[in-house]
Amino acid sequence: MEEMHSDPEMVVFGEDIGLYGGAYAVTKGMLEVFGEKRICDTPMSEAAIVGLAAGSAIVGVRSIAEIMYIDFITLAMDQIVNQAAKMRYMFGGKIKVPIVIRTQGGAGRSSAAQHSQSLESWFLGIPGLKVVMPATPYAAKGLLKSSIRDDNPVLFIEHKVLYNTKGEVPEGDYTIPIGKADIKKAGSDITIVAYSRMLLYAMEAASELEKSGISAEILDLRSIQPLDKEAIIKSAQKTGSVVVVEEGYKTGGVGGEIAAILAEECFGDLKTPILRVAGKDVPIPCTPVLEKAAIPAVADIIAAANKLKEMKNHGY
């Protein structure tokens, strides 16, 4: 709301964002404040939502496109990948594309295979597009403000389970730079790289690892495009061991990209292999027990850390 008040021309487009307040209540109460010309309920067409927002953006109207589930973003891939992400480049920088595509992803609510995916890795290799994934309420506000003020398209992905997370959020204006990771916990034995909901799992795992004498450094990526390569490499050089944790599929995932960066940039500093903890390569089940089995758990992170400790001890 703060950004809407600051920019009287800013518009939000999406399904059920007006009277209903959004599927996860992220626009609740905004219709009453800003009116239907700025909080615009759209037809059930993701292509239309993103296309309308992108078109508005290039003529100077800063806009937000609300996509109810990231699973539905497949219906707007052309508008995102071939249009919004490329227009500023193709026009030689003469236009700006200040659009935030705001959506949510991830499992944890038994919403089944078409409403529970983590598809962020699809967008890692799209030049011109930024991808932001906050893990805390503080980061969510600061990064959303930065995303709205950015003159390039930003895909802003919130985890559906994190909507219930509570934390301190300062009143008033503050921003967090996109592409800057945050060290949530300093450590000396192992680096755990995580983002979104998996950061909470990593923090819980680190507390358990401390009890067995393993000091874990926790790095919250906060955005996966651009990646804070400097922070990742610096932490890896410090500890010599890295575990990358993501909820998305292991094959073609964010962890694979980070592992490649480390292999290219600081292979000689690593004392152990890079381990990835990720979701299973299966459609997300609806049944709670099977859904839980398909995504990483705290125990998986602990097991990976213990495996690296054992390798270190045996002079791998």
Q: Measured between alpha carbons, how far is 165 from 139 in angstroms, rounded to an integer?
A: 12
Give me the residues paired with residue 188 across strands: none
- Is residue 172 domain-resident? no
Residue 113 backbone phi and psi in degrees, to 5: -65, -25
Q: How long is the chain?
A: 316
Same domain, yes or no: 140 and 278: no
Same domain flag for 159 and 187: no
Same-domain check for residues 86 and 125 = yes
**236 found inside a domain:** yes
Q: What pTM was estimated for this model as a whole?
A: 0.96
Maximum Cα–Cα distance across the chain = 65
Angstrom distance (rounded) from CA 7 to CA 99: 14
Judgement on whether residues 159 and 194 belong to the same structural domain of the protein: no
The residues assigned a catalytic role are 115
For residue 53, what pLDDT is reported? 96
Residue 313's pLDDT is 83
Tell me which residue range forms the domain holding 87: 2-164
In the structure encoding, which two tokens stand for residue 236, read together? 């890896």
Q: Note the pLDDT of residue 62.
A: 96
Specify the pLDDT at position 195.
98
Instruction: Say if residue 13 is in the same domain as residue 156.
Output: yes
> Alpha helix (H) ranges present in 101-151?
137-149
Q: What is the rounded distance in angstroms from the CA atom of residue 191 to the CA atom of residue 216? A: 6
Q: Per the domain annotation, does 209 fall within a domain? A: yes
CATH code of the domain in which 301 resides:
3.40.50.920
Distance separating alpha carbons of residues 282 and 49, to the nearest angstrom: 29
pLDDT of residue 43: 94
**For each successive 10 residues of the chain (316 residues), what is the average pLDDT?**
94 94 91 95 96 95 96 97 96 96 96 97 97 98 98 97 93 96 98 98 98 97 98 98 98 97 96 97 97 97 96 81
Domain CATH number, residue 129: 3.40.50.970
Query: CB-based contacts of 299: which residues, under 8 Å, 6+ apart?
Result: none
Q: Do the beta carbons of residue 50 and residue 15 sit within 8 Å?
A: no
Q: Name the token pair of 232.
A: 């990742």
